[in-house]
Structure 1
Amino acid sequence: MNYKYLLICCLLLLGISCNQQKESFPYADTTYTSSVFPKPVGFINDFDSIFSEDEETKLRKLVKIHEAATTNQIAVVTINDLKAYDNIEKYSLDLANYWGVGQKDKNNGVLIAIHKPGRKLWIQNGDGLVDKLTDAETSYIIQSKIIPEFKRNDYFKGVYRGIEAIIKEVNKVEND
């Protein structure tokens, strides 16, 4: 039996509350200016208000269970202004570094950045996950899991399916 899945089941049975403690990114890079990036509020940072409170809770629970099982961190940010950036790829890379998404020694973070007004979306993965989650795989996840739901205006379902696909892909490589 796969012990990671056993751990996940145990965590669910124990009823871990997503609101018991604030998640944080302790390895933030302070070389970036805080005037460009918002301060993170946790793993789900819905600054553009596209999720309901219940949807945020469900997303938070999904990423917290994954982090508990693997130490990999997945963060989501919705933004309505890219500030001085002209593309979401560079913005999301700098934001992930500024926030310190992932474990510093493992660089195992993933940031899903959504700029709804500009119809832009990017999955930024840390160098520690490049072998497990390639750019081609993140592109596939965006095109096949997230965008079809976004086209139906179901942003929650798109992000949820995207996170599930990221988790599956990372675990697939670990279990091979």
Structure 2
Amino acid sequence: MKISTKILILFLTLNFLSCKGISQEKETEKTRTEIHFSDTEKSSIPKPIGIINDYGQIFTELQRTELSKILYDYDIETSRQIVVVTVDSIKPYNDIQKFATDLGQTWGVGTAEKNNGLTIVVCKPCRQIGIATGTGTELILTSEICKKIIEEKIIPDFKNGEFYNGIKIGVIELIEKWK
């Protein structure tokens, strides 16, 4: 198969999968009527643009593509969804964990039936990272496991300015622990 044909197939697959995420978000919003945020908090949650939401612009295009492939392949294989978000600020929030949790709930990360999403939020200027899990996910990926992965796998690379490598290693470790 020619390389251009492979690239076209990959592009169409990624395009199809990004549409899946949008329709899933709308379905989830219908079933989540009990979420209560203040208007200020709700307005600070950005709109999703895909499985990688690099609002903080810390990844190159190649890095976004590589990480997207890892996350999309995992989603297709397991129906578990991991979303990575980079931001320049978490205001009006003070706690990145609360921000990550509210963002994951607002976006409907994971499937509504299984609540099996995981949201990773990085705020480079704030020097903070948070991992929020859906209720179905936290049965396996506990707060302790997520904290350990942040401290032992992600932060060492962050300290060296290697944000992409830290996130990639962290994602791979989370996938391994989620089996």
What TM-score, normalized by structure 2, do the two folds share?
0.82
Aligned twin of 1:140: 148
- Cα-to-partner distance string for 1:82-110 (whole Å, 9 max, x where unaligned): 12111101111111101110000100000
Deviation larger for 71-80 or 17-26: 17-26
- Cα-to-partner distance string for 1:53-103 (whole Å, 9 max, x where unaligned): 000001100000100111000000001111211110111111110111000
Number of equivalences: 158
Q: Which of 85, 95, 106 is residue 77 of structure 1 equivalent to?
A: 85
Gaps of 5+ in 1: 1-14, 172-176
Alignment of 1:14-163 (within 5 A): 16-17=10-11, 19-21=14-16, 22-23=18-19, 24=21, 25-26=24-25, 27-28=28-29, 32=37, 33=39, 34-163=42-171
**Hey, which of these two has a bigger chunk of helix by percent?**
2
SS at match of 2:49: coil
Distance 2:43 2:141 in 1: 31
- Cα-to-partner distance string for 1:133-155 (whole Å, 9 max, x where unaligned): 11110011101111011111111
The percentage of counterpart residues that share the same residue type is: 35
SS at match of 1:161: helix
RMSD: 1.8
Distance 2:131 2:15 in 1: 27
Distance 1:83 1:142 in 2: 22
SS at match of 1:157: helix
Gaps of 5+ in 2: 1-8
